[in-house]
């Protein structure tokens, strides 16, 4: 197996954590640089086979880990000084070339003969990015605020990923755990990668080493919630958080009777009646750091009064601010944190909660329109929320966004069924850093299948079919949920994929004419004036953008990469399975002739596919948005790529 796929034991893992983290970052960074065309206008060529062969044969050289047959890309950062950066790449399906893991990135000077002059220098990811900034950006671009921030994000990613690899806990025998325990174990695994292929996804700016180890999911640390008594007149409520119905308030949903009584006793002793004040949970990190920094005026006015009594023990999930109860209950929490991840602040604005309600309503209206959606599409309940909204504030004002809470309720029919396992798709796409195994290991044993390519491809086909079936049925009605691997959760029941569970409904995209055709109401999303709007899509092709990018290039491609590494299966074979499942689902669903024509053209016939860019928008970033900065470009259609067609035997 590849070194990034598995390591032999925990002690070796700790010793290698720095190297593994660096190579994981190099893979994502270089692949992003190539995909987003940073080097397209640079002087780039290839080392000749003769020079590369001599390098690989050096007994004490730095290039011994490069596989035989590797191509070596040479980027001239200073042609006059004969100074270049070299790194190994291979032809790939999702983009023309991808970095070869564990190969290393080197700054070297070349002799007139073409050989490399000693000494050579092995770069760090930050040093590589510094070269990119110096050579690929102009002076105006280098002065953008985002540039310094990306350098900090990359450095933060490296130490936090190193810490996570060295200290994370994972579980074997996932099917031996309860449904809720297995779900949380897979959430911890998903947290090890966060957003696949994003070079700074792991960075959580604002957390020092102690807080990162305490609050990040992969370390499996329980935390006790803090509470604040909020003046009810200063709150906005979700439609399922009706004032006066105490069973729909946070304390009653997530605390034990003893914990609730302790908080009520403190409130009573301080003259804070439940009729005038609501006890709202606060993330302990936010209580210590976020509220004093961002809501000091609110605290001084007394709109919110911090309580001394703590209660409710939770753990982080793959999303730092989304918390799971340690008692395996179905009421989870989403709380704001003044932490920055993926270039965005992790606050919890009321506008996102409002849009989440409206997205959920659309999905609920869609279910009765399709018998399969009715039984196999599952939704988290996300209409129980409370948000600080003082008089005179607007939905897009900054300070109130740092205080709020949403109780996310998982379907009891799933979480309490011991024949069910909930599989965050992101957990299936995490390269394994130790010998803990992949969920497919458990699945193979359950089905009594051999660990062979045919069996792996068969199970992956079940993943693809189950996923595409739900997503395409929603697309046919004019909807496209946020289907990256963190939000899309497969329902595994008694050894088979039996449905899809969706959470985080605030970005359900739509094509209005198809909603109208099917009697689904316009959600009337709240969109900040002057900001881009990706929720309303003018054409079916626009809606398919999110299937191609989030659904396939991010979600399923990460699973392909991981399965290929862990089981030594050819990536092209898994892409072939994906294509077959996609074609089959399209053929089986009742699309019109015109709709089929669009699907065939966009997914299979077009020479190029869209790409969701992540690095350029970060470098150009000026402010602090509430969602990940991104842009658009294109890549070759993976089903028409040279690497895929070559594997198919097509020339």
Residue 132, domain CATH: 3.30.310
The predicted structure's pLDDT at residue 416:
94
Q: What is the pLDDT of residues 232-242, one digit of tens each?
A: 999 999 999 87
- Is 56 strand, coil or helix? helix
Is residue 498 located within the same domain as residue 588?
A: yes
Which domain, by its residues, includes 508?
418-648
Q: In 3-state terms, what secondary structure has residue 534? A: coil
Residue 382 lies in a domain: yes
CB count within 10 Å of CB 88 equals 25
Based on the fold, state whether residues 443 and 356 are members of the same structural domain: no
Q: Spell out, as residue ranges, where the chain has pLDDT lower than 50.
A: 1-11, 651
Q: What pLDDT does 10 receive?
A: 39
In a domain, 577, yes or no: yes
Question: Is residue 112 one of the residues assigned to a domain?
Answer: yes
* Residue 344, pLDDT score: 80
Same domain, 400 and 428: no
pLDDT of residue 79: 94
Residue 72 lies in a domain: yes
Residue 155 within any structural domain of the chain: no
Predicted pLDDT of residue 65: 64
Name the 3-class secondary structure at 103: coil
Q: Give 95-139 pLDDT, tens digit per residue.
A: 999 999 888 899 989 988 888 887 788 899 999 999 999 999 999
283, two tokens: 């993330």
Three-state SS across 38-74? CCCCCCEEECCHHHHHHHHHCCCCCCCCCCCCCEEEE
Whether residue 602 is found in the same domain as residue 497 = yes
Helices (H), 243-366: 250-254, 257-269, 284-285, 291-294, 296-301, 350-366
Going through 188-255 in order, the beta strands assigned E by DSSP cover 204-205, 223-224, 226-231, 235-237
On whether both 567 and 425 belong to a single domain, the answer is yes
Alpha helix positions (H), 505-570? 512-518, 540-546, 557-567
Which of 354, 383, 409 corresponds to the end of one domain? Answer: 409
> For 619, how many CA atoms within 13 A lie in the half-sphere containing its CB?
22
Residue 396, classed as helix, strand or coil, is coil
**Domain's final residue, options 392, 409, 426:** 409
Assess if residue 3 is contained within a domain.
no
Q: For residue 473, what is the domain's CATH number?
A: 1.10.510.40
489 and 370 in a common domain: no
Decide: helix, strand or coil at residue 43: coil
Q: Do 342 and 470 sit in the same domain of this protein?
A: no
Q: Do 400 and 432 belong to one domain?
A: no
In terms of domains, do 305 and 323 share one? yes
Q: Among the three residues 126, 143, 160, which one is the final residue of a domain in this structure?
A: 143
- What total of structural domains would you count in the chain? 3
Q: Indicate whether 123 belongs to any domain.
A: yes
Same domain, residue pair 483 and 392 = no
Give the count of beta carbons closer than 10 Å to the beta carbon of residue 613. Answer: 18
The reply to whether 563 and 587 lie within a common domain is yes
Three-state secondary structure call for residue 612: strand
Domain shared by 517 and 544, yes or no: yes
- State how far Cα 368 lies from the chain centre: 30
Q: List, in sequence order, every residue forming a beta bridge with 406; answer none if it has no partner.
A: 334, 385
pTM for the model stands at 0.94
Give Cα 357 to chain centroid, integer Å.
Answer: 21
Q: Residue 152 falls within a domain, yes or no?
A: no
What is the 3-class SS of 424-465, one letter each residue?
EHHHHHCCCCCCCCCHHHHHHHHHCCCCCHHHHHHHHHHHHH
Reading the block at residue 384, the tokens are 């129980």
404-409 vs 488-493, strand pairing mode: unpaired
- The SS3 assignment for 359 reads helix
| Chain segment 17-64, per-residue pLDDT in tens | 998 999 999 999 999 999 999 999 999 999 887 777 766 666 555 565
Q: From the DSSP assignment, how many helices (H) and strands (E) are in the chain?
A: 24, 27
Q: Determine how β-strand 377-379 pairs with β-strand 235-237.
A: unpaired
């Amino acid at each position: 197996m590849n070194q990034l796929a598995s390591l032999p034991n925990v002690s070796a893992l700790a010793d290698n954590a720095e190297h593994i983290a660096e190579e994981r970052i190099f893979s994502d960074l270089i692949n992003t640089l190539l995909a987003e065309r940073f080097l397209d206008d640079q002087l780039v060529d290839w080392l000749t086979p003769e020079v590369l062969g001599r390098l690989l044969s050096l007994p004490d050289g730095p290039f011994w880990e490069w596989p035989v047959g590797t191509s070596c890309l040479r980027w001239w950062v200073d042609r006059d000084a004969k100074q270049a950066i070299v790194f190994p790449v291979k032809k790939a399906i999702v983009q023309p070339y991808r970095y070869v893991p564990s190969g290393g990135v080197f700054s070297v000077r070349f002799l007139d003969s073409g050989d490399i002059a000693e000494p050579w220098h092995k770069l760090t990811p930050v040093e590589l990015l510094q070269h990119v900034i110096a050579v690929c950006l102009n002076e105006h671009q280098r002065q953008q605020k985002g540039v310094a921030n990306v350098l900090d994000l990359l450095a933060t990613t490296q130490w936090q990923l190193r810490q996570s690899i060295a200290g994370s806990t994972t579980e074997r025998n996932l099917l031996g755990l309860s449904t809720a325990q297995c779900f949380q174990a897979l959430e911890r695994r998903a947290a090890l990668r966060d957003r696949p292929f994003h070079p700074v996804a792991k960075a959580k700016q604002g957390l020092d080493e102690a807080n990162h180890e305490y609050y990040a999911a992969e370390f499996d640390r329980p935390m006790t919630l803090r509470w604040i008594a909020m003046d009810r007149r200063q709150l906005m409520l979700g439609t399922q958080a009706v004032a006066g119905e105490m069973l729909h308030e946070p304390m009653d949903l997530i605390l034990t009777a003893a914990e609730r009584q302790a908080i009520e006793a403190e409130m009573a002793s301080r003259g804070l009646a439940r009729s005038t004040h609501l006890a709202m949970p606060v993330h302990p990190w936010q209580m210590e750091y976020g509220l004093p920094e961002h809501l000091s005026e609110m605290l001084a006015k007394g709109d919110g009064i911090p309580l001394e009594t703590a209660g409710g023990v939770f753990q982080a999930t793959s999303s730092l601010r989304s918390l799971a109860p340690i008692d395996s209950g179905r009421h989870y929490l989403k709380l704001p944190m003044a932490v920055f991840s993926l270039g965005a602040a992790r606050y919890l604005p009321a506008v996102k909660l409002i849009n989440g309600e409206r997205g959920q309503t659309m999905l609920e209206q869609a279910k009765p329109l399709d018998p399969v959606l009715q039984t196999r599409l599952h939704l988290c309940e996300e209409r129980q929320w409370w948000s600080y909204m003082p008089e005179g504030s607007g939905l897009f004002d900054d300070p109130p966004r740092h205080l709020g809470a949403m109780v996310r309720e998982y379907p009891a029919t799933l979480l309490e069924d011991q024949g069910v396992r909930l599989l965050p798709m992101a957990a299936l796409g995490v390269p394994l850093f130790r010998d803990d195994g992949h969920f497919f290991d458990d699945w193979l044993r359950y089905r009594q299948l051999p660990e062979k390519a045919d069996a792996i491809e068969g199970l992956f086909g079940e993943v693809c079919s189950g996923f595409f079936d739900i997503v395409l049925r929603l697309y046919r009605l004019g909807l496209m949920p946020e289907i990256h691997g963190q939000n899309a959760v497969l329902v595994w029941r008694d050894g088979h994929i039996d449905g899809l569970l969706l959470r985080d409904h605030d970005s359900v995209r739509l094509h209005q004419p198809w909603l109208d055709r099917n009697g689904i109401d316009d959600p009337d999303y709240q969109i900040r004036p002057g900001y881009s709007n990706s929720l309303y899509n003018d054409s079916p092709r626009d809606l398919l953008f999110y299937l191609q990018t989030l659904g396939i290039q991010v979600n399923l491609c990460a699973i392909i990469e991981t399965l290929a590494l862990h089981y030594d299966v050819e990536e092209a074979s898994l892409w072939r399975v994906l294509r077959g499942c996609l074609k089959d689902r399209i053929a089986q669903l009742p699309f019109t002739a015109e709709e089929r024509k669009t699907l065939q053209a966009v997914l299979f016939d077009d020479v190029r596919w869209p790409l969701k860019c992540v690095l350029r928008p970060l470098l150009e970033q000026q402010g602090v948005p509430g969602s990940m900065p991104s842009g658009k470009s294109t890549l070759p259609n993976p089903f028409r790529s040279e690497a895929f067609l070559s594997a198919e035997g097509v020339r």
